[in-house]
Structure 1
Amino acid sequence: MNIVRHPPVKTTLQQTNHPYLTGAWTPQYEEVDVDDLEVIEGVIPDDIDGIYLRNTENQVHQPLGRHHPFDGDGMIHQISFSKGRASYRNRFIRTRCFEAEQIVEGSLWGGLMDPAGVSKRPGFGAHGGLKDSASTDIVVHAGKALATFYQCGEGHVMDPNTLDYEGLAPWVPLDGISAHPKVDESTEELMFFNYSKTAPYMHYGVIDRDGKLVTYVPIDLPGPRLPHDMSFTENWSILNDLPVFWDQDLLKRGIHAVRAHEGIPSRFGLIPRHGKTEDVRWFEADPTYVLHFLNAYEEGDEVILDGYFQEDPTPGPIEGHGEHGHMMGFLDLHSMKTKLHRWRFNLTDGTTKEERLFDKVVEFGMVNQSYYGRKHRYIYSVTSKPGWFLFTGFYKHDLETGETEEIHLETGRYASEAPFAPRINAKSEDDGYLVSFIIDENTGTSECILIDALRFSEGPVCRIKLPHKISSGTHSTWVGRDRL
């Protein structure tokens, strides 16, 4: 590998035993370019052509208070495939907050676990005092990569090929955009929402294929909420009002404490893609919290939504981890008991039906992105290490046959969210590859793996060496060369 290294960033982070600043969560500060990556095992297929982008959290400076992994500075890792070869590069997202902290050489904002008043400057997001680290999600729309933040941020634009930072998305409203905007590949539109602590508490919007804001409407909620994701069909966008949100009495004192509110159902709001506030149709469902939805589609009189239902959205602390136990409980898929779930909203009679699709703990799922908004057959989920926010395996769910295939990584190896990359001239929905970065704590290295979805249970068809060990994180995306 011929590695081009870029000047290092300034960092003040001290040695620590914090569970999300060590091990697989050890921050990576090196930015590099590598033209031709070394293959450890197998052969890179010549029928995959495009780019995998992975967002990670990398805390650059010593935290002002208690660190939460979602506070870390966003870094995008890219691997590009073409003609049986692969190249790699990674870059910090040069947000205004990142640059400000580089100037003063220290942290200016507190984090999700900190009380009001810790931040030294006004902050961002629905919380109101956080650093917009752009470290949560990454999507590609209108030829540009868009990095977003957990609790609503500014929306940061990068060139998906070079990872050059191009500034703020000009269409983002004052209340920002939430972490999970959705791209419809068939219309090239982007749907998004945001939320805040002031009425109407949520807005919904649509960006057209040219990057222009064409729809932006208020969504009236009963009070401040904490929605994290959304979905869409060909005609509807699906928002949510779930009964897990800030304690209202504590919020009046400036304390952002999340709890489950008993006696309140889940609500899902269906709005026509370019609809108005008065067009929203609300459907009630069993109380839960949902971090991530997979896809939605229309079938007869029903709108069908798949996602991950939390059986215990506010779990207790993980034992044996002292002051970090409470935070780790809210990051543990096994504590929250996240299960693959389906909601059916009947547009004729206004009722909701629900069913469990898989009874093991899974989350962070993907479908073939070209099927977004349309009926899908296959879902790809990850599972995690109990007690930790670390991915240890993959599942392929066939919703037509009910069969599930699985792959489990060796102890000490941790995966990234794995989007689906369609094979060139694909013949079926599952004709392609899952792409994932692996962090190997046994060797202190990282690699990229490709899993042939048609031969899923056989495991990776190739392993590709990365030039350094990356930090863990949350989300990723795949973009085919034809969309670049």
Structure 2
Amino acid sequence: MGLDHFPDRSNWHVPDASMKGPFAPNNIETAFEDLEVIGTLPEDLNGMYVRNGPSPAHAPHGKYHWFDGDGMLHAVRFQGGRATYRNRFVETDGLKAERAAGKALWPGLKERMPEGALPDDAMKNVSNTDVTYHNGKLYSMWYRGGAVYTVDPFTLNTLGKLEHDPRLVGLQISAHSRVDESTGEFMFFAYGNRPPYMHYGVIGADGAVTTFQDVPLPGPRLPHDCAVTPHYTILHDFPLINNPSALAAGRYSLEFHQDWPTRYAVIPRHGGKVQWFEFEPRYMLHVANAWEEVNAKGETEIVMIGTPYAMPRDYDGNLDVRRLLFTIGTQGTDYELYQWRMNLATGETREGVVDDILNSEFPMINTAWQGLKNRYTYNVLMGRPRTLEQPQFAGLVKYDLSNGSAVAYHPGEGFWFSEAPFAPRDGATEEDDGYVVGFVWNGLANRSEVWVTDARDIIQGPVARVIMKQRVPHGFHSCWVREAQLQAAAVA
């Protein structure tokens, strides 16, 4: 049985495709036991898959962008060959205010902001982008940066904001922060349109802020992700920015400066001097992993793997900036798997393509290898966009970084995947001994499912398909919470 807190949506007049079909909002908060399974759920798969995503609670008063919807967490828990489902809205301050008013109060990404207001101030923190687990709680985060909302992992009820330390109050914390499972630390960065333009911090396993410092930038930037190793954190400064004049007028207008380098800041994990490294100009959303290597001379190098946008060229081989901006601005999908190397002793850099054949994004790894040299990444295979602002997540890719090989699984037309985190098998000791788990929209049967795929043999497709009793709107990022972590939180 479901509970819908929000008004009837049958009279919403929203022509945008991002509000229809599997993109359409589903505001019913519910819980289901003993979900139907096609195939057999492995009994050694125990834990919880959680995914965040947008579902607008009220009709937008202007143009709608997929990124505008209110955050909703969807959790599927696996125990002994059975699966249950629960979903809840992230109870942000903005959602509470709009519920009280009975209508949308904030402009969306496509709208002009109020006169004199920066978009950071005028837009609602919808907390719809990423979710991670730390200190016995789920953290829900927003891609534009803002307050992190803490959520009970069992009920999905919102507990409050991560503002127990005064330094966190009003801070625009990025959606893509990192948890080190070996230490229990939460590494984060924050950015915005006012100086100082970036901060870096660490929250310990006990929830206390242990590190907090400014990171110098020449102006407001658009970083998205970060990376961590056992001793360092890597932050990003790309040559993609908002046009300053447009920003001052309350609008977004992207610029890419091909004469500016991509810069990566390497910071000691617990604070200290920032060491900058420069690379060819690119833009990247998501990092797969980073690690430390000691070369033959005894020098430490930082290696980072990610999925930047492919750099389009014109007939003369020059960068086609207009095409790049169009791809980024319309959620186009054209990515490469790429590597950067940074020598901490000499300042030397190296970079290059790992794979420019398969178009993949949303890289996930076995999180026990976070910050360590990993062999495998599990990415979403990106399809050809049918319409603007509707990227199709068409399948799965497994990369073997030890030999540069990859295998891909695509079930054919009519299926739309989600980011699929790695879930270790009970008692696993090998990096790829487990499963990848993720929502799939089955357009042929007009329903949402969760597919469980053997991580060692993804080309065989799912070993089990869990049938959802209600539609799960397309969404963004996810995490896997191990059963041991849930058990520890239950007795805390």
Match of 1:213 among 188, 209, 212: 209
What CA distance in whole angstroms lies between the structure 2 residues aligned with 1:106 and 1:317? 37
**Other structure's SS at 1:110 match:** coil
Aligned residue in 1 for 2:297: none
Partners of 2:474 and 2:15 in 1: CA distance: 16
What residue in structure 2 maps to residue 72 of structure 1?
69
* Equivalent in the alignment of 2:315: none
Amino acid in structure 2 at the alignment position of 1:34: F
TM-score by length of structure 1 reads 0.92
- For 2:115 and 2:56, the matched residues in 1 are separated by 17
| Contact kept in structure 2, 1:80 and 1:88, CA below 8 Å | yes
CA distance in 1, matches of 2:383, 2:27: 26
**Structure 2 letter corresponding to 1:465:** I
Are 1:116 and 2:109 an aligned pair?
Answer: no
1:458 and 1:316 map into 2 onto residues whose CA distance is 40
Name the stretch that deviates more: 191-200 or 471-480: 191-200
User: Is the Cα contact below 8 Å between 1:317 and 1:329 reproduced in 2?
Assistant: no
Indicate if the aligned counterparts of 2:256 and 2:321 stay in contact, CA closer than 8 A. no
Residue 341 of structure 1 pairs with residue 338 of structure 2? yes
- C-alpha distance in 2, partners of 1:11/1:351? 59
Q: Which residue number corresponds to residue 330 of structure 1? A: 330
Tell me what 1:91 maps to: 88
- Pairing of 1:26-105 with structure 2 (within 5 A): 26-39=24-37, 41-105=38-102
Cα deviation 1:242-293 (Å, max 9, x = unaligned) = 00011123333333211101310000000000113xx000000111111101
CA distance in 2, matches of 1:329, 1:275: 34
Tell me how far apart the structure 1 counterparts of residues 286 and 232 of structure 2 sit (CA, whole Å). 18
Q: Partner of 1:142 in structure 2? A: 135
1:315 CA displacement: 7.0
Matches within 5 A, 1:213-362: 213-276=209-272, 279-300=273-294, 301-312=300-311, 329-333=329-333, 337-359=334-356, 360-362=358-360
Please show how residues 419-458 of structure 1 align to structure 2 within 5 Å.
419-458=421-460
The alpha-carbon distance between structure 1 residues 10 and 328, as it changes in their structure 2 partners (threshold 3 A), is: farther
1:326 positional shift: 6.0
How far is the alpha carbon of 1:175 from its aligned partner?
Answer: 2.1
Distance 1:271 1:289 in 2: 20
Structure 2: runs of 5+ lacking an equivalent? 295-299, 313-319, 487-492
Whether the aligned pair in 2 keeps the contact of 1:239 and 1:268 (CA below 8 Å) is yes
- Correspondent of 1:22 among 6, 20, 23: 20
How far off is 1:312 after superposition? 4.1
Shift of 1:44: 0.5
Aligned-pair CA distance for 1:381: 0.7
In the alignment, is the contact (CA less than 8 A) between 1:11 and 1:60 conserved in 2? no
Preserved CA contact (<8 Å) 1:64 1:118: no
Asked if the contact 1:297/1:373 (under 8 Å) is kept, the reply is: yes
> Could you tell me how far 1:185 is from its partner in structure 2?
0.4
Q: Percent identity?
A: 38
One-letter code aligned to 1:282: W
1:119-172 deviation per Cα after TM superposition (whole angstroms, max 9, x unaligned) = 9xx89xx72211110000000000100000111111111111211111111243
Q: What corresponds to 1:386 in structure 2?
A: 384
What secondary structure sits across from 1:37 in the alignment? coil
CA contact (8 A) 1:231 1:237 kept: yes
Q: Read off the aligned partner of 1:330 and give its amino acid letter.
A: T
The answer as to whether partners of 1:109 and 1:118 remain within 8 angstroms in 2 is no
For 1:273 and 1:466, the matched residues in 2 are separated by 41
Q: Distance in 1 between matches of 2:477 and 2:287?
A: 13
Letter in 1 for 2:293: E
2:163 to 164, 170, 176: 170
Who is 1:154 aligned against? Answer: 147
SS at match of 1:457: helix
1:112: how far off? 1.5
Aligned to 1:459: 461
Question: Which stretch has the larger CA shift, 54-63 or 305-314?
Answer: 305-314
Report the AA paired with residue 392 of structure 2.
L
Q: 1:65–1:118: 8 Å Cα contact kept in structure 2?
A: no
- Structure 1 59/452 Cα, relative in aligned 2: closer, same or farther at 3 Å? same
Tell me how far 1:329 sits from its aligned partner. 4.8
Correspondence for 1:322: none
Matched residues, number: 465
Conserved 8 A contact 2:436-2:455 = yes
CA contact (8 A) 2:212 2:271 kept: no
Residues 24-75 of structure 1: CA distance to partner in whole angstroms, max 9, x if unpaired? Answer: 2111111111121111x21010001100001111112221222111110111
Q: Could you list the per-position Cα deviations for residues 179-202 of structure 1 after superposition, in whole angstroms to 9, with x for gaps in the alignment?
A: 111100000000001111122210
The match for 1:133 is 126
> 1:185 maps to which residue?
181
Q: Against the structure 1 CA distance between its residues 257 and 328, is the aligned structure 2 distance closer, same or farther, given a 3 Å change threshold? A: closer
Distance 1:344 1:143, change over 3 A: same
Which region of structure 1 is more displaced relative to structure 2, 293-302 or 441-450? 441-450
User: Which residue is equivalent to 2:364?
Assistant: 366
Counterparts of 1:389 and 1:118, CA distance in 2: 32
1:167 maps to a residue whose letter is G
Secondary structure at 1:338 match in 2: coil
Contact 2:6 2:58 in 1 (8 A): no
Q: Which amino acid aligns with 2:63?
A: R
Check if 1:107 corresponds to 2:100. Answer: no
The answer as to whether partners of 2:55 and 2:70 remain within 8 angstroms in 1 is yes
Residue from 403, 406, 410 that aligns with 2:405: 403
